[in-house]
């Protein structure tokens, strides 16, 4: 009976075995390197924005403090927010590749500031950025097809099949050979990930969860390859069937599911929300000040008894219709979010039947780069913006001078929002 060590030697003697595995390992390593470079670029951008924010604020403070105008302080001061990547984000970039991870906001209408960037359904997107999730989802199955498509048929075509089955058993031989190839492919994709995870400081439990998902995905493709090979066709026919299966399961069906989900869950683009909110804000210039302030006081009655607006322009009127602009699109924002969440939920359901979709969905969730993570960042921005408005309003509505020292009292963005 042939042992596993001898099986490995026989496997490595095959012309394509070593180069194919080496190619996969190199591509996996390159994807890890590319992902880590992208995450480093994002981390450096987050680090740079903080001293730039301080320098810009100091310049605004030096100018505003001359007159002490709180409206100018609120208008010209940008406040940086950021979404720091997780330790595993390099492996599956997900939404971080298409949605903002740094956003500078002011105490003006917020929704147009948030929705200048779009949130896409990355789980069902066709092949995009070259990261580890891409290598695992699209390239590793191709390597398995190359290594397994002629597992049985090559022995039949060489006239050795009956002798091998008599020596190694009908089942044990193919389980051992298929398992060897699966294990080698798994090592080729897992080793670079483990190295990158160690360098990024990821927790062992998180890495184990990612590798478990990868193992199940590769095991699925191994079963598909062995199942097709067991049908008794030629090596060429097996290769063609498996290649077609790969195209259907990783490209065609996910793309069709993407179109069906988008049609069943129509979502207005973020830019449409931006335009709607800006139109509402611009319309505020033409509305009577009393009507604008009355509408604002309904949601903020605490400022109703402050000094009235008598001049042609007053900051309290301006910030009132800025906030009313946000309120005017609140229903649209909720509908937009429900639509995105519905698409994401259906993506997860599709992933139960399409392994390529399922493994990407799982990887993005574990890496903290999925839609839920992006929406959580937006929620933190909204909470921070609420604190900003409530900080500036006492100065604006009570017409209290805003001095240089007051800039240091403004809310600061924290990692938790």
Q: What is the pLDDT of residue 122?
A: 39
Residue 307 DSSP one-character state: P
Calculate Rg over the CA atoms of the chain: 29
Residues 352-389 as b or e (16 or more Cβ within 10 Å = b): eebbbbbbbbbbbbbbbbbbebbbebbebbbebbebbb
Q: What is the pLDDT of residue 119?
A: 46
Q: What is the pLDDT of residue 120?
A: 44
Q: What is the pLDDT of residue 15?
A: 80
Q: Of 391, 385, 394, which is closest to residue 410 (Cα–Cα)?
A: 391
Predicted confidence (pLDDT) per residue in 277-286, tens digit: 888 888 888 8
Euclidean distance between CA atoms 417 and 320, whole angstroms: 25
Euclidean distance between CA atoms 188 and 22, whole angstroms: 8
Which residue ranges of the chain lie beneath pLDDT 50? 1, 119-127, 417
Alpha-carbon distances of 87 from 202, 307, 417, rounded to whole Å: 5, 52, 19
Q: What is the pLDDT of residue 348?
A: 95
Euclidean distance between CA atoms 180 and 189, whole angstroms: 15
Euclidean distance between CA atoms 136 and 368, whole angstroms: 18
Predicted TM-score of the model (pTM): 0.90
């Amino acid at each position: 009976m042939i042992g596993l060590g001898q099986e490995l030697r026989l496997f490595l003697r095959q012309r394509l075995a070593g180069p194919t595995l080496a190619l996969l390992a190199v591509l996996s390593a390159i994807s890890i390197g590319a992902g880590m470079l992208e995450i480093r670029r994002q981390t450096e951008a987050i680090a740079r924005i903080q001293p730039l924010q301080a320098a810009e604020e100091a310049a605004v403070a030096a100018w505003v403090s001359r007159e002490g105008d709180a409206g100018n302080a609120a208008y010209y001061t940008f406040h940086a927010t950021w979404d720091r990547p997780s330790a595993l984000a390099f492996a599956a970039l997900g939404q971080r590749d298409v949605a903002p991870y740094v956003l500078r906001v002011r105490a003006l209408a917020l929704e147009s500031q948030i929705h200048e960037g779009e949130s896409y359904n990355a789980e069902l997107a066709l092949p995009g950025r070259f990261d580890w999730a891409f290598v695992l989802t699209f390239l590793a199955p191709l390597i398995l097809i190359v290594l397994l498509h002629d597992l049985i048929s090559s022995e039949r075509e060489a006239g050795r099949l009956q002798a091998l089955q008599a020596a190694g058993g009908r089942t044990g031989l193919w389980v051992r050979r298929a398992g060897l190839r699966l294990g080698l492919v798994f090592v080729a994709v897992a080793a670079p990930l483990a190295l990158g995870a160690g360098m990024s400081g990821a927790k062992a439990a998180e890495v184990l969860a990612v590798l478990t998902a990868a193992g199940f995905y590769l095991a699925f493709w191994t079963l598909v390859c062995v199942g097709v090979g067991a049908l008794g066709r030629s090596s060429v026919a097996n290769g063609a069937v498996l290649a077609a299966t790969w195209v259907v399961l990783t490209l065609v069906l996910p793309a069709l599911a993407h179109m069906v989900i988008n049609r069943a869950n129509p979502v207005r683009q973020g830019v449409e929300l931006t335009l709607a909110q800006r139109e509402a804000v611009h319309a505020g210039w033409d509305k009577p000040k009393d009507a604008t302030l009355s509408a604002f006081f309904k949601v903020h009655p605490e400022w109703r008894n402050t000094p009235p607006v008598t001049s042609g322009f007053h900051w309290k009127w301006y910030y009132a219709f800025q906030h009313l602009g946000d309120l005017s699109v609140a229903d649209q924002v909720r509908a937009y979010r429900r639509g995105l969440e519905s698409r994401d939920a259906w993506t997860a359901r599709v992933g139960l039947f399409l392994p390529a979709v399922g493994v990407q969905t799982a990887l993005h969730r574990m890496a903290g780069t999925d839609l839920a993570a992006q929406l959580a960042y937006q929620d933190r921005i909204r909470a921070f913006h609420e604190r900003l408005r409530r900080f500036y309003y006492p100065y604006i509505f009570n017409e209290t001078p805003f001095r240089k020292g007051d800039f240091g009292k403004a809310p600061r963005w924290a990692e938790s929002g």
